[in-house]
Chain A
Amino acid sequence: MKRKKYIGVFLAAVLILCSCTGCWGSKELTDMVQVIGTGLDNAENGQTKLTVQAGSASTSKSDNKKKSAESQIILYQKTGNGIFDMVRDITHESNRRLFIGHNQCIVFGKEDAQKGVKNQLDFFLRDSEARMDVNILVSDSTAEEILSTQTEDYDMPAVGIKQLLEMQQANAESVSTDLMDFSLALASETTCPVASMIHLSKSNGKPRFVVSGTAVFKKDKLVGTLDEEKTRGYLWAMNKVKNGVVNIQSHSQPVCLEILGSRAAIKPVLQANHHLTVHFPISVKLGIREIKNQDGISYDELSKQLEQDVSHLIQKKISDCFHETQLYGTDIYGVGKLVEEKYPQDWDNIKDKWDTLYRNSIPEVSVEVKVKDSGEISKTYG
């Protein structure tokens, strides 16, 4: 009985104590601005220039009573050594706290990326608010240019960039890397991170974001870029092509095919003399979408020809891309990791000379293409 009483008193005390803390750590939405994009550029004296794109909800009482909610883009810029320091510094000029839980993308300026991004990413990996699904991009020029641009198609440019990256699945010609992928690759001894390239294009005098091509990093430094063709080759090999278009000249006319599905793998084979062959088996399913003139060619004949042509094309793209990465000496495929998994005994011996081993390895691409869908409803006349 007595004990029960004590337990009751204890529980009551805990409950009261809990509520005594008040709203510990609570932050009202109205007291914060949401960071949606961060850009990092080189500054003088080895400092970093931080560009923060933040969205703040503003209410404009346009038509008397009805409040129309409009998001307003605010740009903050700081130059300094540490990102955390700079983020806090912004409170000097902003009445609201920056909240980076909704940061959509981190954009690196090209020069900055070439110098190495490791120290700058550290903040985003440590901070409790920052998330791992933030996209990593490399600007063709500076990050500032990208983040300070307001395009007409998105009211929040950084959110637009994120959506743009998500759309890239449909063309399978550019990569989409988030902080998780990037930091995992950074942490690996052999694998090299990639990121998507972004630049501004002018259409009718109005700026527009364009995502194309791949930035290739060695360790944390930008060493080169892959163009769209080679990026497709990279994506074919990484089994990341699920949608997209294949254009090909067949029977001396352009044929447009849709990728219905693909299945790829990377299989490294280590010879006794420590020569590395990398096998890229890939099978692809295609459907014919556009063909100018099919007269006189039977479907069987056509599809057989197309299968052959496309497999050559894919083969070329994959090996082209591989050769390019060999030039940079960047194992963006994670071949090293696969070798380590497959040949754990040999790994210790070849670990140190992995770079040369990779540069000298031979790709072997075997492509299997099936044209599944003629897209044909009936014979066309006229």
Chain B
Amino acid sequence: MIQAILKKIRYWQLIKNSNNTDEKPVKKEKKKLSLSLSTNIKWFKELLGKSDDIKVREFTFGNKRVVNAALIFIDGLVSNEIITESIMKPLLLYDESLQETPTNNAHDLMNQIQRRVLCSGDVTANSYVEDLVTSCLRGDTVLLLDGTCQGLVVSSKGWDKRSVTEPQTESVARGPREGFTENFRTNTSLLRRKIRSPALRMDSFTIGEKTHTMVCVAYLKGVADEKLIEEIKRRLNTLKVDAILESGYIEQYIEDAPFSLFPTIGKSEKPDVIAGKILEGRAAIIVDGTPFVLTAPMLFTESFQTAEDYYSRTLYASAIRLMRFLSFLIAVFAPAFYVAATIFHQEMIPTKLLFTIAAAREGTPFPAVVESLILLLAFEVLREAGLRLPRPVGQAVSIVGALVMGDAAISAGLVGAPVVVTVAISAMAEFVTPENQDSITLLRLIFLLLSAALGGYGIMLGTLGMLIDLASLESFGVPYFAGIAPAHSHDMEDLFVRAPLWSMTERPPEFARKDRTRQKGSKPPFFHHKS
């Protein structure tokens, strides 16, 4: 075990040292297509193997000069309609004599097919076998002609995909209900539909040597800090991994502090949330195959904001925002505070409450800490079980777990009722800020143990440590605790309260460096009446 840890440490040191010497990848010579169609097809088959979903459709066309051709595509990834209507039909009906400029060789013919024949919006020519194979694997169709050393890539993606539905993790009472899907293009289009500005840029990458996953960085040019975009791109470019299956992979590879309890990269399933973040000057990272879009940089205070804050009216939104901060504190500190108060600081508890707690604790066999730990564990088990089980069963499990077990534990005298209440309120409060869920779970445990060992002093030490961690974290060059420390007067508009929309005239100073103005003097009616 220790040896394994030492090995890991050595590996980190290796990474640290190799960071500076950014070696350039050796470019492998790419294979070019040959002039012979049969050779080309052979090469394709060599590369793609004998999988039965790979279709090679050989055919001939032309009336004056008969040309051998082949379509290579992967069944299931392509839309058969596109292949028939936009590729096969025009080609088979192709009549060279109708064309104004006669073609002399196969190369000209290919040009003509690309320009005048194929009824597809996206046709590109390429002469490298590997590239063509990659296009095939993406769902495009490759058209090869005999006598040319070029192939045409015709966009023909058409696979089964989930439709745009309401995301389950971020449901709202008010606001758009659409959510991102697993389909990359759908996601980018959802974003484009929110921000119809030419300044919205989406720079794409392909990451993953085996998965060739599309990853794109979306940002608002002129608003987002260019250094930030460069930094994100730099980090993405350093990735040399074989697979990216979810945006979580990207998150873990490019985040600033992998061992902090707090996430330094945000995520959301909702286009309106991501659009809002982009408009504030952040960058979004969309990854193919997952509805979770990342945003960077992320601030600590961001996890207390929701889309609804901006859709509902100021006063209510502000009150709810404050309540969220409060529930974060409850979620983290409630069990720790309970334990510290009951085993160290009995004088802190009001006399009557003390007697109530003492009466409930009477006859329970475990110390207060153990009680809390048992219940916390039980809660985590229930939550995990509820998450994994099929939905109808999940509900049953939560009811049995929460109601029956909780009540039974109390009446059997295993645990006291106050500790159940404390753990329950803490657990409920955790869900108010879902983005902090991971960190809260761990923090709560740490604080509980600290308070069990050192009481209020322990809680204070832990808080100090947490604040130090928060204040020292950075997310892509932006202080993680920004808004609280360092504070900027404009942060206060959107921190503990949400100022009226018309009064938030500037973008947050942390991200938007250049174009800071969000709006110019769109004042509410009551201002007009006065003047």
| B-side contacts of A30, CB under 8 Å | 358, 361-362, 364
Question: Is there contact, CB below 8 Å, between A57 and B461?
Answer: no
Mark the stretch among A58-66, A78-86, A196-204 that contacts chain B.
A58-66
Question: Is there contact, CB below 8 Å, between A28 and B368?
Answer: yes
Alpha-carbon gap, A354 to B84, bound state (A): 117
Is B377 close to A, CB under 8 A?
Answer: no
Residues 354-398 (chain B) with a chain A CB within 8 angstroms: 354-364, 367-369
Question: Is there contact, CB below 8 Å, between B361 and A29?
Answer: yes
Question: Is there contact, CB below 8 Å, between B347 and A57?
Answer: no
Alpha-carbon gap, A278 to B139, bound state (A): 102
Alpha-carbon gap, A376 to B255, bound state (A): 74
Question: Is there contact, CB below 8 Å, between A26 and B346?
Answer: no
CB of B482, distance to nearest CB on chain A (Å): 25
Alpha-carbon gap, A251 to B67, bound state (A): 130
| A-side contacts of B291, CB under 8 Å | none
Residues 314-362 (chain B) with a chain A CB within 8 angstroms: 342-344, 346-347, 351-352, 354-362
Q: Which residue of B lies closest to A27 (CB)?
A: B343
Interface string of A24-60 (1 = CB under 8 A from B): 1111111010101000000000000000000111110
Is B455 close to A, CB under 8 A?
Answer: yes
B interface residue count range (under 10 / 10 to 19 / 20 to 34 / 35 or more): 20 to 34
A18-B454 CB under 8 A given contacts A34-B351, A102-B354: yes
| A-side contacts of B362, CB under 8 Å | 30, 57-59, 69
Alpha-carbon gap, A19 to B428, bound state (A): 29
Q: Which residue of B lies closest to A26 (CB)?
A: B343
Question: Is there contact, CB below 8 Å, between A29 and B342?
Answer: yes
Alpha-carbon gap, A193 to B464, bound state (A): 44
Question: Is there contact, CB below 8 Å, between A159 and B351?
Answer: yes
Is B411 close to A, CB under 8 A?
Answer: yes
Question: Is there contact, CB below 8 Å, between B359 and A26?
Answer: no
A131-B368 CB under 8 A given contacts A21-B453, A30-B358, A66-B411: no
Alpha-carbon gap, A24 to B453, bound state (A): 7
Residues 90-130 (chain A) with a chain B CB within 8 angstroms: 99, 101-102, 104, 129
Is A377 close to B, CB under 8 A?
Answer: no
| B-side contacts of A28, CB under 8 Å | 342-343, 361, 367-368
Question: Is there contact, CB below 8 Å, between A101 and B352?
Answer: no
8 Å CB contact of B363 from A26, A59, A99: A59
Alpha-carbon gap, A362 to B226, bound state (A): 85
Alpha-carbon gap, A28 to B366, bound state (A): 10
Q: Which residue of B lies closest to A71 (CB)?
A: B355
Question: Is there contact, CB below 8 Å, between B344 and A104?
Answer: no
Alpha-carbon gap, A101 to B110, bound state (A): 94
8 Å CB contact of A29 from B346, B369, B413, B452: B346
Is A344 close to B, CB under 8 A?
Answer: no
8 Å CB contact of B351 from A27, A104, A129: A104
Decide if the interface of chain A is mainly helix, strand, loop or mixed: mixed
Alpha-carbon gap, A66 to B360, bound state (A): 11
Q: Which residue of B lies closest to A128 (CB)?
A: B347
Q: Which of B360, B413, B453 has the most CB of A within 10 A?
A: B453
Question: Is there contact, CB below 8 Å, between B352 and A129?
Answer: no
A57-B452 CB under 8 A given contacts A25-B344, A65-B411: no
Alpha-carbon gap, A23 to B457, bound state (A): 12
Question: Is there contact, CB below 8 Å, between A22 and B346?
Answer: no
Q: Which of B355, B356, B361, B453 has the most CB of A within 10 A?
A: B355
Is A70 close to B, CB under 8 A?
Answer: yes
Alpha-carbon gap, A59 to B412, bound state (A): 13
CB of B247, distance to nearest CB on chain A (Å): 32
Q: Which residue of A lies closest to B360 (CB)?
A: A69
CB of B511, distance to nearest CB on chain A (Å): 31
A23-B358 CB under 8 A given contacts A28-B367, A102-B347: no
CB of A162, distance to nearest CB on chain B (Å): 8
Is A304 close to B, CB under 8 A?
Answer: no
Q: Which of A21, A29, A55, A59 has the most CB of B within 10 A?
A: A29
CB of B292, distance to nearest CB on chain A (Å): 34
Interface string of B441-460 (1 = CB under 8 A from A): 00000000100111100100
Question: Is there contact, CB below 8 Å, between A23 and B453?
Answer: yes
Alpha-carbon gap, A23 to B452, bound state (A): 6
| A-side contacts of B454, CB under 8 Å | 18, 21, 24
Question: Is there contact, CB below 8 Å, between A99 and B346?
Answer: yes
A18-B363 CB under 8 A given contacts A28-B368, A29-B357, A102-B354: no
CB of B476, distance to nearest CB on chain A (Å): 23
Q: Which residue of B lies closest to A99 (CB)?
A: B346
CB of B463, distance to nearest CB on chain A (Å): 14
Q: Which of A67, A104, A156 has the most CB of B within 10 A?
A: A67
| A-side contacts of B347, CB under 8 Å | 101-102, 129, 131
Alpha-carbon gap, A180 to B358, bound state (A): 28
Alpha-carbon gap, A28 to B363, bound state (A): 12
Question: Is there contact, CB below 8 Å, between B359 and A102?
Answer: no
Question: Is there contact, CB below 8 Å, between B359 and A70?
Answer: yes
Alpha-carbon gap, A24 to B359, bound state (A): 24
Alpha-carbon gap, A22 to B450, bound state (A): 10
A36-B351 CB under 8 A given contacts A21-B453, A59-B362, A99-B346: yes
Q: Which residue of B lies closest to A70 (CB)?
A: B359
Alpha-carbon gap, A29 to B351, bound state (A): 13
CB of A287, distance to nearest CB on chain B (Å): 34
Alpha-carbon gap, A18 to B465, bound state (A): 14
| B-side contacts of A23, CB under 8 Å | 343, 369, 452-453
A102-B356 CB under 8 A given contacts A24-B454, A59-B363: no
A26-B360 CB under 8 A given contacts A32-B346, A101-B346, A129-B347: no
Alpha-carbon gap, A21 to B453, bound state (A): 7
Alpha-carbon gap, A318 to B368, bound state (A): 55
Question: Is there contact, CB below 8 Å, between B455 and A18?
Answer: no
CB of B330, distance to nearest CB on chain A (Å): 22
Question: Is there contact, CB below 8 Å, between B411 and A29?
Answer: no
Alpha-carbon gap, A56 to B347, bound state (A): 15
A19-B453 CB under 8 A given contacts A34-B351, A55-B355, A104-B351: yes
Question: Is there contact, CB below 8 Å, between A26 and B455?
Answer: yes
A57-B359 CB under 8 A given contacts A18-B454, A30-B364, A159-B351: yes
Question: Is there contact, CB below 8 Å, between A18 and B453?
Answer: yes
Question: Is there contact, CB below 8 Å, between A57 and B453?
Answer: no
| A-side contacts of B363, CB under 8 Å | 59, 67
| A-side contacts of B411, CB under 8 Å | 65-67
Alpha-carbon gap, A99 to B346, bound state (A): 9
8 Å CB contact of A67 from B346, B367, B413, B455: B413
Q: Which residue of B lies closest to A158 (CB)?
A: B351
Q: Which residue of B lies closest to A68 (CB)?
A: B359
Alpha-carbon gap, A19 to B452, bound state (A): 9
CB of A329, distance to nearest CB on chain B (Å): 38
CB of A94, distance to nearest CB on chain B (Å): 15
Question: Is there contact, CB below 8 Å, between B453 and A29?
Answer: no
CB of A48, distance to nearest CB on chain B (Å): 25
Alpha-carbon gap, A131 to B449, bound state (A): 29
Alpha-carbon gap, A196 to B72, bound state (A): 102
Known A66-B411, A102-B347; 19 more pairs at CB < 8 Å: A18-B461, A19-B449, A19-B453, A23-B343, A25-B344, A25-B455, A27-B343, A27-B344, A28-B343, A28-B368, A29-B361, A30-B358, A34-B354, A55-B355, A57-B355, A59-B359, A65-B411, A102-B351, A104-B351
A-B contact pairs, 13 of them (CB 8 A): A18-B458, A19-B449, A22-B453, A23-B343, A27-B343, A28-B361, A36-B351, A58-B362, A59-B363, A67-B411, A71-B359, A101-B347, A104-B351
Binding site for B on A (CB under 8 A): 18-19, 21-30, 32, 34, 36, 55-59, 65-67, 69-71, 99, 101-102, 104, 129, 131, 156, 159
Enumerate the 7 nearest inter-chain pairs by beta-carbon distance, A residue then B residue, closest first: A69-B359, A101-B347, A57-B359, A57-B358, A26-B343, A59-B362, A29-B358
